[in-house]
Chains A and B, each alone.
Chain A
Amino acid sequence: MKVSQAAMACALLIGVPMGLAAQDLPTRDATDDVPTGYRRTPRTRIDPFTHILIPHWGLVVSGGAVAENNSVNLNDLGALLYLNKQDSLRAADALDALGLIPQGSGLGGSAQGEAGVYVGGPLMDRFAVGFSVYGRGYGGFAFDDQAVALLRDGTAGGSEFSLGDSRGSVLSTVEGGVHGLARLDGPGGSTVTLGAGARYIRPLYYAQGKSLLDNGGVVVLTGDTIQANIAIEAYQTPQFEFNQATGIAGDLLVRVEWPAQGLALEGVIANLGSVSVSGVERRTLTLDIETTKLDELSGVLDTLELAVQDTMEVALTLPRLVRFTGSAWTGGLLQLDVSTTLRTGGEFAIPVAVDLGSTWRFVQTMPLRLGLVFGGHQGLGYTAGFGIEARNLFFNVSGGTLGGFVRNAKGMLARVDMGFFF
């Protein structure tokens, strides 16, 4: 099943274009009328410059999200929901489900999302300016395999466990930004587009949890003794509200386009900066026990709680977004894009992802998009999309599954844009 799905995708993305070329494909002039703004891809990931290149003044409402994990696919999720709905979710099912977590990797996942409004447009022929208000969210978690192994394998693989590098973070913000760009003539008939922008950020909610001990502490289960020395530190804003602290983030864009050759190279760096979150409650939990009795352990666990230690202001480095994209197109019909979003470190870590996309314009203003995603948490993913790029109306919808095809996917991405131009 997997093989056939992958084969279909490859045929669509590689075989079909090649075949078309061999049969003297209908071509369009490379200098067709597709504006740069509409050639920019990808359309599925967070990109602060997405709309500013659109060659019309107007308003765009958009939202998008990407979420993935390394263990549970949609079928698994459906099975869990089904069993729960049937009141048939049993411990043995949980034991099986834990086996979905790959050995050696632990359980990991990440998510990013945004939704907001953009207003902007070109100034003269070479400039553009845009204003945006967005709500954004970033989240990531990782349960170290040393911690997962305790539940997944019991003591079959060893007697010593740890929280390791287990952690989790969530940040939700409201951002107001202004971005501008300038288009310059470059060498060899190229066009160089430089973009820059800044966003004023107000956090709404922040939470983080991690081990307080080096190496995640230790849990040892021998035949007759349970020994645990672990400590957890958690940060959390108590309310979902506008935070008093703020932050500034900067975004940069460089795009070089050779219209005659149908080539473009682009680099984007976003989220340069940091944000402070005030009123963050710091809580800790410590478990330090050595016992031979499960009862004693249960008793101690019953009394454990994350106790507030103090309230503080936390400075966060925003998840840095660095993306390089290369595009090539033959006339107006087909455009291929390769985009690499580098790995993001820190609290909201996201693995490196390579998006391979194709845009088909059988009707110039109605692009169809198909693509593959490599990397991420799981490797191969599939994307598809459809757009309307009319003079007064812009609509784009795209989505994809990550780490598998549709129901076998362990992640999803989706984006919707709706714009109205003057």
Chain B
Amino acid sequence: MRIQGQVWETVIVVTGLSLVGSGCEPTSVADAREQLGRGGSRFVEFTVPVADTVFQVQTLLDAEGAVLDTLSDGTLAVGIDPESLSVAVGERLEFDDVPTDSLVVSFDPAVFAAPPGTQVTFSSSYDVLAVGVRFPDIDTTVVHDGVLVVTSKSRLTADVEYEITLNGFVGPTGAPLVQSAVIPAAPGDGSYQTSDLIFNLSGVTITPSNVRVDVAGEATLGDPMNPSLADSAIVQFGSGDVALGRLVGRPDPNEVPELNVAVQEIHEMPQRGLSFADLEDAVREARINSATIELVLENESDLPAASSDLTVGLVQLDAFGSVPRDAAGEIVYEVDSAGVPILIPIADSGQTTFSLARASTMTLELPAAPLLDRLVNLLLDDVRAALVTSGRMSLGDGNAGGVARTDRVQLRFDASVALDLTVPESGVTFTRTTSQDGLLSLSETNADQLADRVVSASVSTDVENRTPFGVELEIAFVQGDLPENADVFSEPGRVLLTGITVDAPAVDARGRVMEATESTVEIELFGQDVRPLLTDRFTAGVRARLMPGAGADGRGAIGATDGIVLDSRARIQLQAGGSQ
């Protein structure tokens, strides 16, 4: 027979104790407690960790997945996810309303006296698109999209058949563009009849050095015409719109205005790229003194790019993502405290322009504290915001090169916000909430009873302040397991500990901590104050208020190791025994 040992033990122990103990039972709960308290009076002391928190800025931010960087001076910086935008300079190379030379054909009035049926012919050549002016030093151009409209007028009383050959305009077949048309006979009163020939230039390769219009036409005389119609009998002119697909040559923006393109790119900044974790409130309330945008520019074209007025600014977007504009249609930028639009010039340090060599990349460090301070605040306030890159860029410098329609100038914004803050006089506050096990994991009844045994209790808090600011701390704890976002300080039944202050450390001229300060504060607890600490779970909240320090005009640069180390523990002394 196999009997579990534990069963035997249990049966034996329970039976034995019951038999023995039942004969010695007291008659009341009070008597029973009196009996158990017959041991000598003694104090039982326990220490309960109340809050053991390290407000190390780097750790706080790390925990929230923020992109951190340490600047060369040791200041901690929070990175904003890089954002890219591109300026499609190739697409902006458009030549609109480019006129051709005009052709005027006059006849010898004697020709009109010829018998009916006599054929009169004419032919000529002239420049197209005034390429000598508009396309200087351009070897070839491939048209992405465009048309050339040639208008022909005649006041002859006979139909005029004509043909136009666009030499230097080579279509996909490799042949010059050729079209013909008929100008209807005019009434003979001196007025003109008109005929338009529309050349589709899409995909056409233009070689400016070869371009000529060859025109040839004929008319069959009918009834005799008024000799006065012979002068300027036929007139031809035209204009074109060309969007380039590719351009090769030695373009010079000083000679070709179309090589100076207007830029206005708007890029909304997503909130996902920004996280200050528990420091959000602090950053919102403080002023950011140092922030940079690392702007990486990449020129994809084979022409150098330059700008003298390109800026980056900040706008609020409305719910539909639209950019605010004034009555004149101008963008309404965010402004600084003086009401001046916050516009950061995109230029080399100390310069007002930048030049970007062909097919190259360059990086600019743009000091952008006001802009990013405003951007951070907008994003933290859940306001949609966008960076606006605006100005003009020019392509080419008169040297050989080319640009295609797909060529762009890429701009990548890599912003980081240094935690170089100036906190307001009222300070900035952030909180931390943690739940933890109580000392004895007691039920409420047990906790009540034990709390009545408290002889003395106090909370001792050690604080090490390694931030450039003064610190005022409040600690609250309450029974229960509250979520991290709970506000313990407003919970009913909370126990609030105040008056824990630590002076600001000495800082250097740039607001960096030179040596941490420390403080130990002991706060007495009374009666049922300790009750939450004895229960199964309690939740403690720590509220830290950063106050301006005396040095560096209240400015503080938070280093990678800066933070507040707080160790708060309760010492609880209970009375036990001594009832007899």
Instruction: Assess the B43–A90 pair: CB atoms within 8 A.
Output: no
In the complex, the answer to whether A294 meets B47 with C-beta atoms within 8 Å is: no
A146-164 contacts to B (CB < 8 Å)? 152-156
A366 contacts B by Cβ under 8 Å: no
Q: Name the distance in Å between A86's Cβ and chain B's nearest Cβ.
A: 6
Residue of B nearest to A91 (CB): B446
Does B18 contact A79, Cβ atoms closer than 8 Å? no
Q: Shortest distance in angstroms between B31's beta carbon and chain A's nearest beta carbon?
A: 7
Q: Which residues of A contact B435 (CB under 8 A)?
A: 295
Taking CB atoms, residues of chain B closer than 8 Å to A297 are 437
> A83-B32, A96-B577, A156-B573 in contact; A240/B2 too (CB < 8 A)?
yes
B8 → chain A closest CB, angstroms: 5
B interface secondary structure, majority: mixed
Q: Provide the A65-83 mask, 1 if CB < 8 A to any CB of B, else 0.
A: 0000000001111111111
Identify which of A92, A95, A221, A238 contacts B47 (C-beta below 8 A).
A221
Does residue A98 face the partner (Cβ distance < 8 Å to B)? yes
Interface residue stretch chosen among B34-42, B170-178, B272-280, B358-366: B34-42
| With known contacts A79-B33, A207-B5, A292–B49 Cβ distance under 8 A | yes
Complex interface bits, A95-128 against B, C-beta within 8 A gives 1, otherwise 0: 1111111000000000000000000000000000
* Separation of A99 and B29 alpha carbons in the complex (Å): 18
Q: How far is B452's CA from A224's CA once the two chains are assembled, in angstroms?
A: 25
Q: Chain B's nearest CB lies how many Å from the CB of A100?
A: 5
Per the bound structure, the CA–CA distance linking A80 and B33 in Å amounts to 9
Q: Give Cα A420 to B5, complex, Å.
A: 34
CB under 8 Å from chain A, chain B span 1-49: 1-5, 7-9, 17-18, 20-26, 29, 31-33, 35-40, 42-49
- Of all chain A residues, which has the CB nearest B33? A93
- Of all chain B residues, which has the CB nearest A95? B576
Q: Which residues of B contact A222 (CB under 8 A)?
A: 47
A237 an interface residue at 8 Å Cβ cutoff? yes
Q: Which residues of B contact A293 (CB under 8 A)?
A: 49, 52, 436
Q: Is B472 an interface residue (CB 8 A)?
A: no
Number of residues from B at the complex interface, CB < 8 A: 60
Per the bound structure, the CA–CA distance linking A309 and B25 in Å amounts to 44
- Nearest-neighbour CB distance to chain B for A302, whole angstroms, equals 11
Given A294-B49, A298-B437, A81 contacting B4 (CB threshold 8 A): no
Contacts of A237 in B (CB 8 A): 5
Find out whether the CB atom of A76 lies under 8 angstroms from the CB atom of B35.
Answer: yes
Asked whether any CB of chain B lies closer than 8 Å to the CB of A27, the reply is no
Partner of B3, one of A240, A292, A412: A240
Given that A95-B576, A241-B2, A294-B49 are known contacts, is A407 also in contact with B37, CB under 8 Å in the complex? no
- Using A95-B453, A152-B44 as known contacts, say yes or no to A90 and B446 having CB atoms under 8 A apart: yes
Q: Which residue of B lies closest to A139 (CB)?
A: B9
* B450 interface hit (Cβ, 8 Å): yes
Whether A96 lies near B442 (C-beta < 8 A) is: no
A389 to B43 CA separation, bound complex (whole angstroms): 56
Contacting pair B2 A153 (CB below 8 A): no
Which B residues touch A92, using CB under 8 A?
446, 449-450, 452-453, 576
> What is the minimal beta-carbon distance from A352 to any residue of chain B, in angstroms?
25
Chain B residue, CB-CB nearest to A204: B5
**Could you tell me the distance between the alpha carbons of A407 and B31 in the complex, rounded to whole angstroms?**
14
Q: How far is it, in angstroms, between the C-alpha of A56 and the C-alpha of B33 when the chains are bound?
A: 53
A-chain residues with CB within 8 Å of residue B449 when the two chains form the complex: 90-92
Whether A81 contacts B439 in the complex (CB less than 8 A), given A76-B35, A156-B573, comes out as: no
Chain B residue nearest in CB terms to A74: B24
Chain B CB within 8 A of A348 CB: no
Q: Does B445 contact A (CB under 8 A)?
A: yes
Q: With CB as the reference atom, state the residue of chain A lying closest to B24.
A: A78
**Nearest chain A CB to B165's CB is how many angstroms away?**
90
CB-CB nearest in chain B for A157: B45
* A156 pairs with B52, CB closer than 8 A: no
B57: min CB distance to chain A, Å: 20
Are B39 and A99 neighbours in the complex by a CB distance under 8 Å? yes
From residue A6, how far is it (CB to closest CB) to chain B in Å? 18
Specify the chain A residue showing the minimal Cβ separation from B48.
A294
| CB nearest neighbor in B for A237 | B5
Encode B540-580 as 1/0 by CB contact (under 8 A) with A: 00000000000000000000000000010101011011010
Q: Which residues of A contact B49 (CB under 8 A)?
A: 224, 292-294
**Considering the chains assembled together, what is the distance between the CA atoms of A91 and B440 in angstroms?**
9
Number of interface residues of A (CB under 8 A): 50
Q: Check B26 against A76 for contact (C-beta < 8 Å).
A: no
**B5:A239 contact, CB within 8 angstroms:** yes
A261 close to chain B: CB less than 8 A:
no
CB neighbours (8 Å) of B47 from chain A are: 154-155, 221-223
| Closest Cβ–Cβ distance, residue A37 to chain B (whole Å) | 31
A79 touches B35 (CB 8 A): yes
Asked if A138 lies at the interface with its beta carbon under 8 angstroms from chain B, I say no
B207 at the interface (CB under 8 A from A): no
Q: Select from chain B the residue with minimum beta-carbon distance to A170.
A: B9
Given the known interface contacts A98-B576, A152-B44, A156-B44, the answer about A82 and B52 at a Cβ–Cβ threshold of 8 Å is no
Q: In the complex, which of the residues B42, B442, B452 has the most CB atoms of chain A within 10 Å of its own CB atom?
A: B42
Residue of B nearest to A93 (CB): B36
Determine if A100 and B52 form an interchain contact, defined as CB atoms under 8 angstroms apart: no
Compute how far the CA of A407 lies from the CA of B462 in the bound complex, rounded to whole angstroms: 51
- Is B460 an interface position by the 8 A CB rule? yes
Q: When A74-B20, A91-B450, A99-B577 are in contact, do A81 and B42 touch as well, CB less than 8 Å?
A: no
B40: chain A residues within 8 A (beta carbon): 99
Q: Using a CB-CB cutoff of 8 Å, which residues 178-236 of chain B contact chain A?
A: none
Question: Of all chain B residues, which has the CB nearest A113?
Answer: B12
The answer, yes or no, to whether A311 is at the interface (CB within 8 Å) is no
Residues on B with beta carbons closer than 8 Å to the beta carbon of A96: 33, 36-37, 39, 576-577, 579
Q: Which residues in B have their C-beta under 8 angstroms from that of A238? A: 5
Complex contacts, B577 vs chain A, CB 8 Å = 96, 99
What residues on A are CB-neighbors of B33 within 8 Å? Answer: 79, 83, 93, 96
- CA of A22 to CA of B481, assembled, Å: 78
- Chain B residues whose CB sits within 8 angstroms of the CB of A90 once the complex forms: 445-446, 449-450
Residues 397 to 449 of chain B near chain A (Cβ within 8 Å): 435-440, 442, 445-447, 449
Q: Which of A74, A79, A95, A223 contacts B32 (CB 8 A)?
A: A79
Q: Which residues of A contact B453 (CB under 8 A)?
A: 92, 95
What CA separation (Å) do A344 and B579 show in the bound complex?
A: 36
Which A residues touch B4, using CB under 8 A?
239-240
> Which of B17, B445, B576 is the one whose CB lies under 8 Å from A99?
B576
- In the complex, the answer to whether B36 meets A80 with C-beta atoms within 8 Å is yes
Q: Give the shortest distance, in Å, between A224 (CB) and chain B (any CB).
A: 5
CA A101 to CA B36, docked complex, whole Å: 11
- In the assembled complex, the CB of B373 is this many whole angstroms from the nearest CB of chain A, namely 37
Q: Shortest Cβ distance from A149 into chain B, in angstroms?
A: 10
Interface residues of A in 34-56 (CB under 8 A from B): none
Is B45 touching A407 in the complex (CB atoms < 8 A)? no
Task: Report which of A77, A223, A298 forms a contact with B569, defined as CB distance below 8 A.
Answer: A223
Task: Kindly name the residue among B1, B25, B437, B579 whose own CB sees the greatest number of chain A CB atoms within 10 A.
Answer: B25
Q: Is A205 an interface residue (CB 8 A)?
A: yes
Please indicate the chain B residues that have their CB under 8 angstroms from the CB of A101 in the complex: 39
- Determine the distance from Cα of A293 to Cα of B13 in the docked complex, in whole angstroms: 37
Kindly list the 8 A-B residue pairs having the minimum CB-CB distance in the complex, ordered from nearest.
Answer: A99-B39, A78-B24, A99-B577, A156-B45, A79-B32, A79-B35, A81-B21, A91-B446
Task: Beyond the given A91-B450, A294-B48, A295-B437, please list 12 additional residue pairs across the A-B interface where CB-CB is below 8 A.
Answer: A75-B26, A75-B35, A83-B32, A92-B446, A96-B37, A154-B45, A156-B573, A223-B569, A224-B569, A236-B5, A239-B3, A293-B436
Show the binding face of A for B, using Cβ within 8 Å: 74-83, 85-86, 88, 90-93, 95-101, 152-156, 170, 205, 207, 221-224, 236-241, 292-295, 297-298, 407, 412
30 pairs, CB–CB < 8 Å, chain A vs chain B: A74-B21, A78-B22, A78-B25, A79-B35, A82-B21, A82-B26, A88-B29, A91-B442, A92-B450, A92-B453, A95-B450, A95-B574, A96-B576, A96-B577, A97-B39, A99-B40, A99-B577, A100-B36, A154-B46, A156-B44, A221-B47, A223-B47, A239-B4, A239-B5, A240-B5, A241-B3, A292-B567, A293-B49, A294-B437, A294-B438
